[in-house]
Amino acid sequence: MRSVRPITNCFSAFFVLFIFLIPNTEAQENSPYSRYGLGNLIPAQNNLNRAMGGLTAAYYNFQSVNFTNPASYANLKITTYDIGIDYSSRKLITLNPPKSFTSSYLIPSYFQLGLPLSKKNNWGMNIGLRPISRINYDITIRTRTAIDSIRYGYVGNGGTYQAFTGMGFGTKNLTVGFNVGYMFGNKEYNSRVSFINDSITYKSSNSTDTTRFGGMFYNAGIQYKFNVSKTTSVKLGAFSNFKTKMNATKTLSRETINFSATNGIQAIDSVYRGVDEEGTIIYPSSWGAGFMIDHENAWMIGAEFNSAKWDDYRYFGSNDKMVNSWTARIGGQFIPNYKSEKYWSRVAYRFGFSFGPDNLKYNNTINQQTFSFGTGLPVRRNVYTNQYTVINTAFELCFRGNNSNEIKENIFRLSLGLNLSDIWFNKPKYQ
CA distance 369 to 357: 9
pTM of structure = 0.86
* Contact (CB, 8 A) for 247 and 213: yes
Summarize the confidence of residues 347-351 as an average pLDDT. 96
CA distance 109 to 303: 24
* Greatest alpha-carbon span in the chain: 90
* Contact (CB, 8 A) for 72 and 175: yes
Query: CB count, 10 Å around CB of 264?
Result: 9
Summarize the confidence of residues 171-177 as an average pLDDT. 95
Summarize pLDDT for 69-95 with one digit per residue, the tens.
999 999 998 889 899 999 999 888 887
* Contact (CB, 8 A) for 331 and 372: yes
CA distance 47 to 84: 7
In order of start, what are the domains of the chain with their CATH numbers? 5-422 (2.40.160.60)
**Which residue, 313, 333, 335, is CA-closest to 323?**
313
Tell me how far apart the terminal alpha carbons of the chain are, to the nearest angstrom.
9
**Does the pLDDT value for residue 17 go beyond 50?**
no
- Predicted pLDDT of residue 58: 96
Strands 174-196 vs 286-295: parallel, antiparallel or unpaired: unpaired
* Contact (CB, 8 A) for 313 and 282: yes
> Mean pLDDT, the chain, as a whole number?
85
CA distance 74 to 305: 23
Summarize pLDDT for 277-322 with one digit per residue, the tens.
899 999 999 999 999 999 988 999 999 999 999 999 999 999 988 9
pLDDT higher at 31 or 326? 326
- Predicted pLDDT of residue 223: 98
Strands 264-283 vs 286-295: parallel, antiparallel or unpaired: unpaired
Query: What SS3 class is residue 172?
Result: coil
- Predicted pLDDT of residue 233: 95
DSSP label of 14: H
| Three-state secondary structure of 19-44 | HHHHHHCCCCCCCHHHHCCCCEECCC
